[in-house]
Structure 1
């Protein structure tokens, strides 16, 4: 392990949602490896404890574990208050928590399932922005990363709930980015593309997962974005383009 003071995110406070699986887990590990203190949220205590074991082994320091369902808006507010009381600021927010909600014709969507997908994919983004913006403003360089998807610009049959809620999230983040243009906060949309995750397997059960990049590959990009200069890209940052640019150098 590198000396903590030499790591690029040493001393930074990072909140990661959906931290026990896929891209959220990979991001939490990458941020911790870069020196950040990770506040990890997910629904399962067991998954969080397994993540903490890995973070301790990687960085020599524990994470802060917060069992939280993203539909719990009051819980998000309480988390914001707890971060304020303990740290006084937030340097990095990564909103990786999301749900597919199944693939159904729009007319066949179950109302309760629809409401949950909206809560997890869209409303939670609003609640996180509402609760965490004051903390990000206290950072010297607050960075907020939100995961989007290729299903937003290319909607297709049966993806109505996921695509619509992610499109709403993208619009919400872009509006917020315009509002905070003259602050030290940068809001960033990230499109990871096809990755070897549980959600991808749910959407494409016949696909060979070994043909896809593993979530760990996106970790260095997320660290780089957490360190990025101010300004919002006009389009989401594409992992494939970032990877290609690194391969060319």
Structure 2
């Protein structure tokens, strides 16, 4: 079982926090003592998350949340988010860029342009914009930690998964490049492959699959939260949740 680090006094930003893995990441980071900035489009999901965090705080005295209803297609909104964090906290300790969309499972020639563009906008462009917005804040932390959520599809693209696979390959490239830029700093940057997880997105992608055979979003989140602590020094690597370990990216021959 993964053990969460003590994150008391730390500020953590989680995107896609209203459901699935992001919801449980935010909830567990708060339970570990962090003040969580929870970003998502769905206000109802954010409010439910806030209720859970408040209940946990009443029980243990740990964790707080700031809710940020934001569509990550709003690039100017992502820019403003970084400014707002600076005004209130002057730093950011943990970034988990979790938000993403699947698009459609279809032959590349059948994918509509607007669908392809939406996948790239939300999975790639918004991730880059988020990096740009919070990179200075993470550098102000004594032990900044950034995790970008990827997928096994990035390294092993399958038929009909083209847009999603391409977007996650781009996310991994961003993570590796950012990690190399900051390797001599306290900031550590890694990508995360959560593996097949019992979520609504997985059900959409593989409708015939028995969800009971998959780990829950809470179980996956616990393993990710366990690598957010200041004691973890890996950077520029890919964390496989299924194997519960970091792996070096395959380098070109």
Give 2:52's match in structure 1, choosing from 40, 51, 54: 54
Number of residue pairs matched?
236
Higher helix share: 1
Please say if residues 189 and 236 of structure 2, whose CA atoms lie closer than 8 Å, have aligned partners that are also in contact: no
Instruction: Determine the C-alpha separation between the residues in 2 that align with 1:31 and 1:206.
Output: 32
**Residue aligning to 2:66:** 64
Q: Which residue in the other structure is 2:211 paired with?
A: 209
How is 1:229-240 mapped onto 2 (pairs within 5 angstroms)? 229-232=232-235, 234=237, 236-240=238-242
Distance 1:201 1:102 in 2: 12
Report the counterpart of residue 125 of structure 2 in structure 1.
123
Question: What is the DSSP-based 3-state SS (H/G/I as helix, E as strand, rest coil) of the residue aligned with 2:184?
Answer: coil
Q: Deviations over 1:155-192 (max 9, x none)?
A: 11110110001101111111111001111110011111
Residue aligned with 2:152, SS: coil
Deviation at 1:59, TM superposition (A): 2.5
Correspondence for 2:87? 85
Q: Please point out which of 5, 11, 14 is paired with 1:13.
A: 11
Match of 2:20 in 1: 22
Native 8 Å contact 2:40 2:68 kept in 1: yes
Give yes or no for contact 1:181–1:231 (8 Å, CA) kept in 2.
no
User: Alpha carbon RMSD of aligned pairs, Å?
Assistant: 1.3
What's the counterpart of residue 166 of structure 2? 164
- Residues 85-142 of structure 1: per-residue CA shift (max 9 Å, x gap): 0000000000110000011111111111111110110011110110000000110000
* Distance of 1:35 and 1:109 partners within structure 2: 43
2:30–2:64 contact (8 Å) kept in structure 1: no
Structure 2: how far apart are the matches of 1:241 and 1:217? 13
1:92 and 1:143 in contact (8 A); partners too = yes
Counterpart of 2:79 in 1: which secondary structure? helix
In structure 2, list runs of 5 or more residues that go unmatched.
246-253
Deviation at 1:220, TM superposition (A): 2.7
- The aligned residue for residue 219 of structure 1 is 221
Distance in 2 (CA, whole Å) between partners of 1:46 and 1:220 is 23
Structure 2 residue aligned with 1:133: 135
Deviation at 1:62, TM superposition (A): 3.8
Q: Distance in 1 between matches of 2:205 and 2:31?
A: 31
User: What corresponds to 2:41 in structure 1?
Assistant: 43
**TM-score (norm. length: structure 1):** 0.92
